[in-house]
Structure 1
Protein backbone atom coordinates (compact mmCIF):
# COMPACT_ATOMS: atom_id res chain seq x y z
CA UNK A 1 0.00 0.00 0.00
CA UNK A 2 2.52 2.63 1.09
CA UNK A 3 5.14 4.01 -1.26
CA UNK A 4 7.34 7.07 -1.01
CA UNK A 5 6.07 10.10 -2.92
CA UNK A 6 7.48 10.87 -6.32
CA UNK A 7 9.13 14.21 -7.06
CA UNK A 8 6.13 15.67 -8.91
CA UNK A 9 3.89 15.19 -5.87
CA UNK A 10 5.29 18.06 -3.80
CA UNK A 11 7.16 21.34 -3.99
CA UNK A 12 10.94 20.69 -4.25
CA UNK A 13 11.35 22.79 -1.07
CA UNK A 14 10.21 19.70 0.87
CA UNK A 15 12.76 17.34 -0.70
CA UNK A 16 15.13 17.66 2.25
CA UNK A 17 12.40 16.72 4.72
CA UNK A 18 11.22 13.75 2.67
CA UNK A 19 14.82 12.64 2.17
CA UNK A 20 15.31 12.39 5.95
CA UNK A 21 12.55 9.81 6.36
CA UNK A 22 14.01 6.31 6.58
CA UNK A 23 12.60 3.50 4.49
CA UNK A 24 9.84 1.54 6.15
CA UNK A 25 6.30 1.90 7.37
CA UNK A 26 5.78 5.66 7.73
CA UNK A 27 3.02 5.14 10.29
CA UNK A 28 5.41 3.17 12.48
CA UNK A 29 8.11 5.76 11.89
CA UNK A 30 5.77 8.57 13.00
CA UNK A 31 4.71 6.61 16.08
CA UNK A 32 8.29 5.86 17.12
CA UNK A 33 9.92 9.18 16.34
CA UNK A 34 7.65 11.14 18.68
CA UNK A 35 8.93 8.95 21.52
CA UNK A 36 12.51 9.64 20.45
CA UNK A 37 11.92 13.39 20.46
CA UNK A 38 10.26 13.24 23.88
CA UNK A 39 13.15 11.16 25.26
CA UNK A 40 15.63 13.71 23.89
CA UNK A 41 13.93 16.72 25.48
CA UNK A 42 11.91 15.63 28.51
CA UNK A 43 14.75 16.07 30.99
CA UNK A 44 15.67 19.62 29.98
CA UNK A 45 15.73 22.29 32.63
CA UNK A 46 13.86 25.57 32.25
CA UNK A 47 17.14 27.27 31.36
CA UNK A 48 18.01 24.65 28.74
CA UNK A 49 14.57 24.61 27.11
CA UNK A 50 14.60 28.42 26.96
CA UNK A 51 17.99 28.49 25.21
CA UNK A 52 18.42 29.88 21.71
CA UNK A 53 21.68 29.60 19.82
CA UNK A 54 21.40 32.98 18.14
CA UNK A 55 19.64 36.31 18.65
CA UNK A 56 17.00 35.74 15.94
CA UNK A 57 16.55 32.03 16.60
CA UNK A 58 13.78 30.23 18.44
CA UNK A 59 14.10 28.72 21.89
CA UNK A 60 13.80 24.94 22.15
CA UNK A 61 10.31 25.54 23.55
CA UNK A 62 9.44 27.55 20.46
CA UNK A 63 10.81 24.81 18.21
CA UNK A 64 8.49 22.32 19.94
CA UNK A 65 5.55 24.68 19.58
CA UNK A 66 6.42 25.14 15.92
CA UNK A 67 6.51 21.38 15.40
CA UNK A 68 3.07 21.05 16.95
CA UNK A 69 1.58 23.93 14.95
CA UNK A 70 3.06 22.63 11.71
CA UNK A 71 1.76 19.14 12.39
CA UNK A 72 -1.71 20.55 12.95
CA UNK A 73 -1.57 22.43 9.65
CA UNK A 74 -0.23 19.40 7.78
CA UNK A 75 -2.80 17.14 9.45
CA UNK A 76 -5.56 19.44 8.24
CA UNK A 77 -4.10 19.33 4.74
CA UNK A 78 -3.93 15.53 4.89
CA UNK A 79 -7.57 15.35 5.94
CA UNK A 80 -8.78 17.81 3.31
CA UNK A 81 -6.89 16.32 0.39
CA UNK A 82 -7.62 12.72 1.41
CA UNK A 83 -11.33 13.58 1.42
CA UNK A 84 -11.10 15.08 -2.07
CA UNK A 85 -10.98 18.80 -1.35
CA UNK A 86 -10.57 20.78 -4.58
CA UNK A 87 -10.19 24.25 -3.08
CA UNK A 88 -6.63 25.49 -2.67
CA UNK A 89 -5.61 25.31 0.98
CA UNK A 90 -3.87 28.35 2.47
CA UNK A 91 -0.25 28.58 3.44
CA UNK A 92 0.80 29.76 6.87
CA UNK A 93 3.49 32.00 8.27
CA UNK A 94 5.41 29.89 10.77
CA UNK A 95 7.33 32.93 12.02
CA UNK A 96 4.09 34.75 12.89
CA UNK A 97 2.65 31.65 14.54
CA UNK A 98 5.65 31.33 16.85
CA UNK A 99 5.75 35.08 17.53
CA UNK A 100 2.08 35.10 18.53
CA UNK A 101 2.11 31.95 20.65
CA UNK A 102 2.90 31.71 24.39
CA UNK A 103 5.31 28.77 24.02
CA UNK A 104 7.94 30.27 26.32
CA UNK A 105 5.38 30.51 29.14
CA UNK A 106 4.83 26.73 29.00
CA UNK A 107 7.01 24.07 30.53
CA UNK A 108 8.87 21.74 28.19
CA UNK A 109 6.76 18.91 29.62
CA UNK A 110 3.53 20.70 28.65
CA UNK A 111 4.84 21.30 25.13
CA UNK A 112 5.96 17.68 24.74
CA UNK A 113 2.62 16.40 26.04
CA UNK A 114 0.82 18.65 23.58
CA UNK A 115 3.01 17.46 20.72
CA UNK A 116 2.40 13.82 21.63
CA UNK A 117 -1.38 14.27 21.58
CA UNK A 118 -1.28 16.03 18.21
CA UNK A 119 0.98 13.28 16.81
CA UNK A 120 -1.40 10.60 18.09
CA UNK A 121 -4.23 12.38 16.28
CA UNK A 122 -2.17 12.58 13.08
CA UNK A 123 -1.29 8.88 13.25
CA UNK A 124 -4.92 7.87 13.85
CA UNK A 125 -6.01 9.96 10.87
CA UNK A 126 -3.35 8.43 8.64
CA UNK A 127 -4.18 4.90 9.79
CA UNK A 128 -7.82 5.49 8.82
CA UNK A 129 -7.01 6.34 5.20
CA UNK A 130 -7.75 3.88 2.46
CA UNK A 131 -5.00 3.16 -0.06
CA UNK A 132 -6.46 5.35 -2.82
CA UNK A 133 -6.51 8.36 -0.48
CA UNK A 134 -2.70 8.22 -0.14
CA UNK A 135 -2.39 9.02 -3.85
CA UNK A 136 -4.86 11.90 -3.93
CA UNK A 137 -3.41 15.27 -4.80
CA UNK A 138 -4.61 18.71 -3.94
CA UNK A 139 -3.27 22.21 -3.67
CA UNK A 140 -1.79 23.72 -0.54
CA UNK A 141 0.04 27.04 -0.42
CA UNK A 142 -0.41 27.25 -4.22
CA UNK A 143 1.49 24.00 -4.79
CA UNK A 144 0.36 20.54 -5.83
CA UNK A 145 0.82 18.00 -3.05
CA UNK A 146 -0.23 14.41 -2.46
CA UNK A 147 -1.40 12.91 0.80
CA UNK A 148 1.59 10.57 0.92
CA UNK A 149 3.93 13.52 0.41
CA UNK A 150 2.28 15.38 3.29
CA UNK A 151 2.67 12.35 5.56
CA UNK A 152 6.38 12.20 4.73
CA UNK A 153 6.76 15.95 5.19
CA UNK A 154 5.38 15.59 8.72
CA UNK A 155 7.90 12.85 9.53
CA UNK A 156 10.82 14.64 7.89
CA UNK A 157 9.99 18.00 9.44
CA UNK A 158 10.31 16.53 12.93
CA UNK A 159 13.60 14.84 12.04
CA UNK A 160 14.91 18.09 10.55
CA UNK A 161 14.22 20.03 13.73
CA UNK A 162 15.48 17.26 15.99
CA UNK A 163 18.77 17.37 14.05
CA UNK A 164 18.93 21.15 14.49
CA UNK A 165 18.31 20.82 18.23
CA UNK A 166 21.11 18.28 18.57
CA UNK A 167 23.60 20.12 16.36
CA UNK A 168 22.95 23.83 16.93
CA UNK A 169 21.40 23.93 20.39
CA UNK A 170 23.06 21.06 22.26
CA UNK A 171 26.24 21.59 20.21
CA UNK A 172 26.54 25.27 21.08
CA UNK A 173 29.29 26.32 23.45
CA UNK A 174 26.75 28.60 25.15
CA UNK A 175 24.22 25.81 25.77
CA UNK A 176 23.62 25.55 29.53
CA UNK A 177 24.92 22.24 30.89
Structure 2
Protein backbone atom coordinates (compact mmCIF):
# COMPACT_ATOMS: atom_id res chain seq x y z
CA UNK A 1 0.00 0.00 0.00
CA UNK A 2 1.21 3.47 -0.89
CA UNK A 3 2.03 5.54 2.18
CA UNK A 4 1.14 9.18 2.71
CA UNK A 5 3.75 11.64 1.42
CA UNK A 6 5.83 13.32 4.09
CA UNK A 7 6.77 16.98 4.55
CA UNK A 8 9.46 17.95 2.06
CA UNK A 9 7.91 15.68 -0.54
CA UNK A 10 5.58 18.36 -1.93
CA UNK A 11 5.36 22.15 -2.12
CA UNK A 12 4.02 23.29 1.25
CA UNK A 13 0.91 25.01 -0.17
CA UNK A 14 -0.44 21.56 -1.14
CA UNK A 15 -0.32 20.29 2.45
CA UNK A 16 -4.00 21.12 3.19
CA UNK A 17 -5.12 18.88 0.31
CA UNK A 18 -2.90 16.00 1.38
CA UNK A 19 -4.12 16.33 4.97
CA UNK A 20 -7.73 15.80 3.82
CA UNK A 21 -7.02 12.37 2.34
CA UNK A 22 -8.05 9.56 4.69
CA UNK A 23 -5.58 6.83 5.58
CA UNK A 24 -5.76 3.73 3.47
CA UNK A 25 -5.32 2.71 -0.13
CA UNK A 26 -5.14 5.80 -2.36
CA UNK A 27 -6.56 3.86 -5.32
CA UNK A 28 -9.59 2.95 -3.21
CA UNK A 29 -10.01 6.58 -2.12
CA UNK A 30 -9.88 7.78 -5.74
CA UNK A 31 -12.38 5.12 -6.86
CA UNK A 32 -14.78 6.00 -4.03
CA UNK A 33 -14.67 9.65 -5.05
CA UNK A 34 -16.26 8.79 -8.40
CA UNK A 35 -19.31 7.53 -6.49
CA UNK A 36 -19.22 10.48 -4.10
CA UNK A 37 -19.20 12.99 -6.95
CA UNK A 38 -22.08 11.20 -8.66
CA UNK A 39 -24.08 10.86 -5.44
CA UNK A 40 -23.70 14.55 -4.73
CA UNK A 41 -24.17 15.93 -8.24
CA UNK A 42 -26.15 13.49 -10.42
CA UNK A 43 -29.52 14.92 -9.34
CA UNK A 44 -28.46 18.58 -9.68
CA UNK A 45 -30.67 20.43 -12.14
CA UNK A 46 -29.26 22.66 -14.85
CA UNK A 47 -30.53 25.67 -12.94
CA UNK A 48 -28.79 24.49 -9.76
CA UNK A 49 -25.63 23.92 -11.79
CA UNK A 50 -25.55 27.63 -12.60
CA UNK A 51 -25.87 28.63 -8.93
CA UNK A 52 -23.16 30.87 -7.44
CA UNK A 53 -23.23 31.29 -3.68
CA UNK A 54 -21.82 34.82 -3.90
CA UNK A 55 -20.96 37.43 -6.49
CA UNK A 56 -17.70 36.62 -8.24
CA UNK A 57 -17.75 32.97 -7.16
CA UNK A 58 -17.81 30.08 -9.60
CA UNK A 59 -21.02 28.35 -10.54
CA UNK A 60 -21.42 24.75 -9.45
CA UNK A 61 -20.72 23.71 -13.06
CA UNK A 62 -17.51 25.74 -12.99
CA UNK A 63 -16.44 24.07 -9.75
CA UNK A 64 -16.91 20.63 -11.30
CA UNK A 65 -15.07 21.71 -14.46
CA UNK A 66 -12.25 23.12 -12.33
CA UNK A 67 -11.97 19.85 -10.41
CA UNK A 68 -11.62 17.99 -13.71
CA UNK A 69 -9.12 20.41 -15.25
CA UNK A 70 -6.99 20.41 -12.12
CA UNK A 71 -6.94 16.62 -12.11
CA UNK A 72 -5.81 16.65 -15.75
CA UNK A 73 -2.91 18.91 -14.85
CA UNK A 74 -1.92 17.03 -11.69
CA UNK A 75 -2.07 13.68 -13.51
CA UNK A 76 0.10 15.06 -16.28
CA UNK A 77 2.61 16.20 -13.67
CA UNK A 78 2.42 12.79 -12.02
CA UNK A 79 3.12 11.07 -15.37
CA UNK A 80 6.10 13.27 -16.14
CA UNK A 81 7.67 12.85 -12.71
CA UNK A 82 6.92 9.11 -12.46
CA UNK A 83 8.68 8.59 -15.80
CA UNK A 84 11.77 10.38 -14.52
CA UNK A 85 11.34 13.74 -16.24
CA UNK A 86 12.97 16.42 -14.08
CA UNK A 87 11.95 19.36 -16.29
CA UNK A 88 10.35 22.00 -14.03
CA UNK A 89 6.60 21.96 -14.68
CA UNK A 90 4.86 25.33 -14.72
CA UNK A 91 2.04 26.42 -12.48
CA UNK A 92 -1.36 27.21 -13.93
CA UNK A 93 -3.81 30.00 -13.33
CA UNK A 94 -7.06 28.37 -12.24
CA UNK A 95 -9.12 31.55 -12.76
CA UNK A 96 -7.89 31.80 -16.35
CA UNK A 97 -8.74 28.17 -17.03
CA UNK A 98 -12.26 28.51 -15.64
CA UNK A 99 -12.97 31.81 -17.38
CA UNK A 100 -11.85 30.41 -20.73
CA UNK A 101 -13.58 27.02 -20.43
CA UNK A 102 -17.18 28.25 -20.47
CA UNK A 103 -18.26 25.29 -18.34
CA UNK A 104 -21.76 26.71 -17.93
CA UNK A 105 -22.56 25.80 -21.54
CA UNK A 106 -22.23 22.09 -20.73
CA UNK A 107 -24.91 20.00 -19.08
CA UNK A 108 -24.29 18.58 -15.64
CA UNK A 109 -24.36 15.13 -17.25
CA UNK A 110 -21.60 16.10 -19.69
CA UNK A 111 -19.46 17.56 -16.91
CA UNK A 112 -19.92 14.45 -14.77
CA UNK A 113 -18.99 12.21 -17.72
CA UNK A 114 -15.87 14.30 -18.28
CA UNK A 115 -14.90 14.03 -14.61
CA UNK A 116 -15.41 10.27 -14.77
CA UNK A 117 -13.29 9.92 -17.93
CA UNK A 118 -10.44 11.93 -16.44
CA UNK A 119 -10.61 10.01 -13.15
CA UNK A 120 -10.57 6.69 -15.06
CA UNK A 121 -7.40 7.84 -16.85
CA UNK A 122 -5.84 8.91 -13.55
CA UNK A 123 -6.61 5.53 -12.00
CA UNK A 124 -5.18 3.73 -15.02
CA UNK A 125 -1.95 5.70 -14.68
CA UNK A 126 -1.69 5.17 -10.94
CA UNK A 127 -2.31 1.42 -11.10
CA UNK A 128 0.64 1.05 -13.47
CA UNK A 129 3.24 2.70 -11.26
CA UNK A 130 5.77 0.74 -9.26
CA UNK A 131 7.39 1.83 -6.00
CA UNK A 132 10.37 3.39 -7.77
CA UNK A 133 8.10 5.56 -9.92
CA UNK A 134 6.12 6.73 -6.89
CA UNK A 135 9.31 7.87 -5.16
CA UNK A 136 10.68 9.90 -8.07
CA UNK A 137 10.95 13.62 -7.45
CA UNK A 138 10.34 16.50 -9.79
CA UNK A 139 9.48 20.19 -9.83
CA UNK A 140 5.90 21.42 -9.95
CA UNK A 141 3.76 24.13 -8.41
CA UNK A 142 6.76 26.24 -7.48
CA UNK A 143 8.59 23.54 -5.54
CA UNK A 144 9.85 20.00 -5.47
CA UNK A 145 7.62 16.99 -5.00
CA UNK A 146 7.22 13.28 -5.55
CA UNK A 147 4.94 11.46 -7.94
CA UNK A 148 3.29 9.99 -4.85
CA UNK A 149 2.39 13.44 -3.55
CA UNK A 150 0.51 14.21 -6.75
CA UNK A 151 -1.75 11.18 -6.31
CA UNK A 152 -2.65 12.50 -2.87
CA UNK A 153 -3.11 16.04 -4.15
CA UNK A 154 -5.61 14.79 -6.75
CA UNK A 155 -7.63 13.06 -4.03
CA UNK A 156 -7.35 15.94 -1.53
CA UNK A 157 -8.30 18.57 -4.10
CA UNK A 158 -11.48 16.64 -4.89
CA UNK A 159 -12.31 16.30 -1.18
CA UNK A 160 -11.75 20.03 -0.70
CA UNK A 161 -14.20 20.92 -3.45
CA UNK A 162 -16.75 18.29 -2.45
CA UNK A 163 -16.73 19.87 1.01
CA UNK A 164 -17.28 23.34 -0.47
CA UNK A 165 -20.09 22.00 -2.66
CA UNK A 166 -21.80 20.48 0.40
CA UNK A 167 -21.36 23.61 2.51
CA UNK A 168 -22.11 26.37 0.00
CA UNK A 169 -23.95 24.97 -3.02
CA UNK A 170 -26.31 22.18 -2.03
Q: Which TM-score band (shorter chain)?
A: over 0.9
Instruction: Say whether 1:94 aligns with 2:94.
Output: yes
Match of residue 107 from structure 1: 107
Displacement, 1:141?
2.9
Q: What secondary structure does 1:9 align onto? A: coil
Give the SS at the match of 2:101: coil
Separation in 2, partners of 1:142, 1:87: 12
Give the match for residue 51 of structure 1: 51
Across the aligned residues of Structure 1 and Structure 2, the Cα RMSD in angstroms comes to 0.8
4+ runs of 1 displaced by more than 4 Å?
none
Give the Cα–Cα distance (whole angstroms) in 1 for the partners of residues 86 and 156 of structure 2: 26
Number of paired residues?
170
Question: Displacement, 1:166?
Answer: 0.4
Matched, 1:121 2:121: yes
Cα drift, residue 118 of structure 1: 0.2
* CA–CA separation in structure 1 for the residues paired with 2:168 and 2:71: 22
CA distance in 1, matches of 2:99, 2:108: 17
Query: What is the CA–CA distance in structure 1 between the aligned matches of 2:140 and 2:2, rounded to whole Å?
Result: 22
Partner residue in 1 for 2:15 = 15
TM-score with structure 2 setting the length: 0.98
Q: Distance in 1 between matches of 2:48 and 2:86?
A: 44
SS in 2 for 1:23: coil
